[in-house]
Amino acid sequence: MKRYLIAVITTAFLAACSSTPTKEQDAAAVEDRGGAAASQQQQPPRTTGPTTTPLEPKGVSGNPLKDPANILSKRSVYFELDSNIVKEEFKPMVSAHARYLQQNRGVKMTVQGHADERGSREYNLALGQRRADAVKQMMQLLGAQSEQVETISFGEEKPKATGHDEKSWAENRRADLVYPND
C-alpha cells in the first residue's frame, strides 16, 4: 500500500514538472515553489554549444505571486480618508491579480480590508470591509469569479503603521490581497 502511494505521488510529481508554461496552470502548480514555471522563466536565451544556467538567487521562487519583479507580488491597495475608491495607481496591480485568477480558476484568495484607528472599532471593521469589497468588485469586472475571492475585514485591529498621525493612518487605510500560502 505504502509503495503504491509513493508510486502515485512520484508519477504526479513528474507530471507536474513536465507541464509546459503555455498550458493553463492548475492550483497545485501555482503554489509549487521553485518548480517548472521558475526554470522556464529564468532560463537565459538559447545559444549553440554548451548551455549555462545561472544559480537561482536564494529566496526567489518560481511562484509569480512571490516574484518581486512580478506585479503580482504587489498586494496592497491604499485608500483616501472615508473612501473606498480604488485609485488609478493601483488598477494595474488589481487587474493583474484578476487576470491571474481568471487563468487559475482553482485558486482562491482573500481580500483583507483595513481602516485607520480613529473612531468605533466595529464601524471601522465595516469600513475595511467596504474597501475589500471594492477591490473584489473590480477584480470580478476584470475576470475573477466571485467564489474565488472572499472579502473580510480586520478594521483597525492590524495596523501596518502604529503611529497616530496622518502618515500612519494613510498606510492603514488599505486592502491586502492574500493567497492561501502567503
Binding site for other proteins (CB under 8 A): 110, 118-123, 125-127, 129-130, 133, 150-155, 157-158, 164
Pick between residue 91 and residue 158 the one whose CB is nearest to other proteins: 158
Residue owning grid cell 487559475: 104
Closest CB to other proteins among residues 37, 134 = 134
Least distance from C-beta 69 to other proteins, angstroms? 28
161 DSSP assignment: S
State which residue, 120 or 145, has the beta carbon closest to other proteins.
Answer: 120
Q: How many CB atoms lie within 10 A of CB 31?
A: 17
φ, ψ for residue 6, nearest 5 deg = -60, -40
Nearest distance from residue 150's CB to other proteins, in Å?
A: 6
8-state DSSP, 147: G
CB nearer to other proteins: give 9 or 126. Answer: 126
Q: Which residues contact 42 (CB under 8 A, 6 or more apart)?
A: 54, 56, 62
Cβ at position 156, least distance to other proteins in Å: 9
